[in-house]
Amino acid sequence: MLDFVSPNWLPALLVFIAAALGVVSIAFLIESGREVKRRADFRRQLRGVTKTPDPMRSGPESLFRESKISEIAWLEPVLQALPQISDLRLLLEQANIGWSAGTFLALTVGMAFSVGAGVYVLTGKFVYFIAAAALGAFGPLQFVKRKKRRRIEAFEEGFPEAIDLLARSIRAGHAFATGLKVVAEESQDPVKSEFRHVFEEQKFGLPLEESLLGLGDRIDLVDVRIFITAILVQRDVGGNLAEILDKISYTIRERFMIRRQIRVYTAQGRMTGYLLAALPIIMGFLIWMLNGEYMSILFTDPVGRLLIAGAVILQIIGFFVISRIVDIEI
């Protein structure tokens, strides 16, 4: 077995994957920064509409129950000093996994070390340990992002029914807070848990604006922003809230149906992108397995290594370009 994993194709494959993941990580950080800016702009715009100041979210009078970053006391201030720790905590909250930021980082380090150590045992070279560790560290992040995406999709599917239930409750004469409680009791997760979160914050005296903005942070959907904006504007200028909610529910259903149609129409483009991204990797790996000497010059010659680096970068750029083309926003 050691003879099978020791040839030159293993380091080349690990370096190739590590380089690809590095570019993807940079793209993810850029996109995360855009999401943070978008949420900040959304909060600032709503505060301009409602004319309310940004309340202090810390200190002895804070209504927020701050969760620990880590279960290890001495590690808490260290993690607090990290610049991206708040974004990581928000991501874990959006995924609703129940992990603290310290647990996630410990799992990431453990996964990286395990994968790297396994490759090091097989190859005996430290450079391959580094490449494999980078690959292993990417796993927990992808798992959390997948959980977040599935949870948001489930919320999106049940959101119109929750708005209808809230509108019926208000039309029956109940207060808005009571309507939130009805939705929290009658809906299915994750809609149920999110509206319960908003209701409990209201119950303990948090301003409605902050409760709804917290919902918008946890569920990063345009439909949720439409809902929050309509509620806060109605509280400022008045109007029939039940009728407004009915129109919002209808709009969200129509948007959801259009998005499904667009997803069907762009399925071929998405599959083309996946195929074009995977085909060079698969073909290169197969050619290397069948005739390693034929491709060895790409890894031994300096020009060949430059060509590989350029191919990786262009391949990833092409994949993202195709993804942007088929990602139609409505």
- How far is CA 244 from each of CA 47, 184, 202, rounded to the nearest angstrom? 20, 20, 21
Q: What torsion, rounded to 10 degrees, do the Cα atoms 24, 30, 32, 36 define?
A: 180
Ramachandran assignment for 59, one of left (phi > 0), alpha (psi -120 to 50 degrees), beta (any other): left
- In this predicted structure, what is the pLDDT of residue 164? 92
pLDDT in tens, the chain (330 residues): 444 444 455 555 655 665 555 555 555 555 555 555 565 555 555 555 444 444 434 433 344 444 555 555 556 666 666 667 777 778 888 888 777 777 788 788 888 888 777 777 777 777 777 877 887 888 888 888 888 889 988 898 889 999 999 999 998 888 888 888 888 888 888 889 889 988 888 888 888 888 888 888 888 888 888 899 888 888 888 788 888 999 998 988 888 888 888 888 888 878 887 888 788 888 888 887 888 777 778 778 888 878 888 888 888 788 788 778 877 776
- In this predicted structure, what is the pLDDT of residue 55? 42
Query: Which residues neighbour 79 within 8 Å (Cβ) at sequence distance 6 or greater?
Result: 69, 70, 85, 101, 102, 105
Q: What is the pLDDT of residues 43-95, one digit of tens each?
A: 555 555 444 444 434 433 344 444 555 555 556 666 666 667 777 778 888 88
pTM, two decimals, is 0.63
Domains detected in the chain: 153-259 (1.20.81), 266-330 (no CATH)
Percent composition of the chain: helix, strand, coil (DSSP 3-state, to 5): 80, 0, 20
Q: Print burial letters for 172-195: b (CB count within 10 Å at least 16), e (below 16).
A: eeeeeeebbbbbbeebeebbbebb
- Distance CA(277)–CA(271), nearest Å, equals 10
